[in-house]
Chains A and B, each alone.
Chain A
């Protein structure tokens, strides 16, 4: 006898909005290693270089990796500096993060630093990290 059905409302805001494009900058390489994946589809990653971009979903770059085992890996070249990542596992390969009819995610998602969202995306402060030359790695547990 209770009413937490309305908690759904809290998840209504879309957590991620990603489309696949490509862009490159030089100097340092960032490798994203994703684990605990079901071997199908792709991991889609959006890369942000500022809080404004992160909060407003204006990515400076994107990356994706085919998922053929429980681990997927992708390397991108970036200018050294501070970044944050939002990513999801596009299990059905439709290029979009799956949502149920109430707009809640149905495909696994993650953030850099393995930061966890609390009723929404992880914050920029929790997700930001520094890319330094020559190479930086982010290990993400889905």
Chain B
């Protein structure tokens, strides 16, 4: 593994475009095909518990717990391939970190969709980019729920999250599936975003969208329903992730509008840049108190977190792209082994919403995805964001982990190299520590050369020192999306 830090220009050159091509050994071409192990079926029975092999370093004192990650892990029955990466069946990976090292196990979420398709031996259920089979038994959103996007710990349960249906309840120890979560009988099947926001108090916020209507979930720390209310959206657009501050809920609605009531959804979404990116800000205490800010049209999947200045200005970090092209098309191609580097890549941007109604973006020119922060500060002032970085031209995803400081503009980067597909890394606080990012970043990397998934631990404030400890598992697990760390 190599560490480096250099000027932005030099870095971008090395990590993208001509720089990479100029230095690329010929063997990269062969390695390029190997990335498809990240979108290959995992074993139907899951991964039995096994020890990961220590590559270097030691588990830092004070770091222990479980990293749970979720992602699509079943894509095909023979030549019958799902219509989109986002429609693969969700699988929970569990990494158990102790002083003795790391153990890994994994299990599919046993959804109705998965059971139905496994029994039939073919792709049947409609999804984001998948057509329904004529005999698909669909009576509601949870029948097509892939439970494949994220996982959170609530009380004694894990919730495997999608965004078009209910959370799927999973036992955190056995990873056995317990079934969809119903918050109240009359709310059965209401969607729940894959990016709920947890306040420092433990209160959970989430949302659901349908057309120009939005539903806001307010839950207590144990997952009990405190409040659920409908709101009107400024446009029937799209939001995958969002942000909260101490006082406000922030929904940046992208002008990606569904036309007609048909699936696959990805083929019926229309990009309407003339409508702009409309950012709805709602008062947590009174959902009727709202304000809409507007920016030129842009697309994103992920936000960092938001905070509010004493003068009322709101800020949040977000990974912006010009259009939703990757979401619409890239995910269809990836599960077919096709990758167009032109459709990938988002830029890290800080959006500021001023009391006088102005919305301003501060682009960085830094490629970024899966932004993460010190979640003890969810909704509160903080300076730093950690994200994956550096698109590869030869495989989907990023090859580096990076930190950006909004106050100083300084960055840190650890480049895992051309063979790495770097997944989301989560912040784990050091017990007793209070300073921002006093703790570790724990994340996984699919190493194409080793054909194995690795787990790396960084000192969160010193990413550029490289991982302090690393382990390598016995399997190449399919690429995941999001997770949670339970200390």
- How many CB-defined contacts (below 8 Å) exist between A and B? 138
User: What chain B residues lie within 8 Å of A9 (beta carbons)?
Assistant: 210-211, 258, 261
Task: Among B84, B140, B228, B258, point to the contact of A104 (Cβ < 8 A).
Answer: B140
A87 smallest CB distance to B (angstroms): 13
User: What chain A residues lie within 8 Å of B190 (beta carbons)?
Assistant: 100-102, 104
Mark out the residues of chain A between 4 and 25 whose CB falls within 8 Å of any chain B CB in the assembled complex: 4-13, 15
A60 smallest CB distance to B (angstroms): 25
User: What chain B residues lie within 8 Å of A104 (beta carbons)?
Assistant: 140-141, 189-190
Contact between chains at A13 and B261 (CB < 8 Å): yes
Give bound CA distance, A81 to B140, whole Å: 32
A111 smallest CB distance to B (angstroms): 10
Mark out the residues of chain A between 47 and 100 whose CB falls within 8 Å of any chain B CB in the assembled complex: 91-92, 98, 100
Give bound CA distance, A81 to B141, whole Å: 35
Task: Among B86, B162, B164, B188, point to the contact of A6 (Cβ < 8 A).
Answer: B164
Bits for B34-65, please: 1 = Cβ < 8 Å to A, else 0.
00000000000000000000000000000000
Contact between chains at A5 and B208 (CB < 8 Å): yes
Let me know if B230 is at the binding interface, CB within 8 A. Answer: yes
Give bound CA distance, A10 to B126, whole Å: 10
A101 smallest CB distance to B (angstroms): 6
Task: Among B87, B138, B189, B327, point to the contact of A116 (Cβ < 8 A).
Answer: B138
Contact between chains at B164 and A116 (CB < 8 Å): no
Mark out the residues of chain B between 167 and 194 whose CB falls within 8 Å of any chain A CB in the assembled complex: 185-191, 193-194
Contact between chains at A4 and B208 (CB < 8 Å): no
User: What chain B residues lie within 8 Å of A4 (beta carbons)?
Assistant: 86-87, 127-128, 144, 146, 162-164, 265
Q: With A1-B481, A100-B189, A100-B190 as known contacts, state yes or no: A6 contacts B265, CB within 8 Å.
A: yes
B21 smallest CB distance to A (angstroms): 27
Let me know if B399 is at the binding interface, CB within 8 A. Answer: no
Let me know if B14 is at the binding interface, CB within 8 A. Answer: no
User: What chain A residues lie within 8 Å of B128 (beta carbons)?
Assistant: 2-4, 7
Give bound CA distance, A4 to B142, whole Å: 12
Contact between chains at A8 and B191 (CB < 8 Å): yes
Give bound CA distance, A9 to B162, whole Å: 16
User: What chain B residues lie within 8 Å of A6 (beta carbons)?
Assistant: 164, 209-210, 238, 258, 265, 269
Contact between chains at B238 and A1 (CB < 8 Å): no
Q: Which of A1, A92, A104, A106 has the most CB of B within 10 A?
A: A1
Contact between chains at A2 and B139 (CB < 8 Å): no
A127 smallest CB distance to B (angstroms): 14
Of all chain A residues, the one with the shortest Cβ separation from B265 is: A6
A5 smallest CB distance to B (angstroms): 4
Give bound CA distance, A2 to B140, whole Å: 19
User: What chain B residues lie within 8 Å of A13 (beta carbons)?
Assistant: 261
Q: Which of B209, B210, B265 has the most CB of A within 10 A?
A: B210
Contact between chains at A2 and B186 (CB < 8 Å): no
User: What chain B residues lie within 8 Å of A3 (beta carbons)?
Assistant: 86, 128, 163, 238, 240, 256, 265-266, 269, 327
Q: Which of B87, B128, B137, B140 has the most CB of A within 10 A?
A: B140
Q: Which of B135, B139, B482 has the most CB of A within 10 A?
A: B139
Extra A-B contacts (11), CB below 8 Å, given A92-B185, A117-B138, A118-B135: A1-B86, A2-B85, A2-B194, A3-B163, A3-B265, A6-B210, A6-B238, A6-B258, A100-B186, A104-B189, A117-B139
- The residues of A with any CB-CB pair to B shorter than 8 Å are 1-13, 15, 91-92, 98, 100-102, 104-106, 109, 116-119
Some 13 contacts from A to B, beta carbons below 8 A apart, are A1-B301, A2-B149, A2-B240, A3-B128, A3-B265, A6-B164, A8-B141, A8-B208, A92-B185, A100-B187, A101-B186, A101-B215, A101-B230
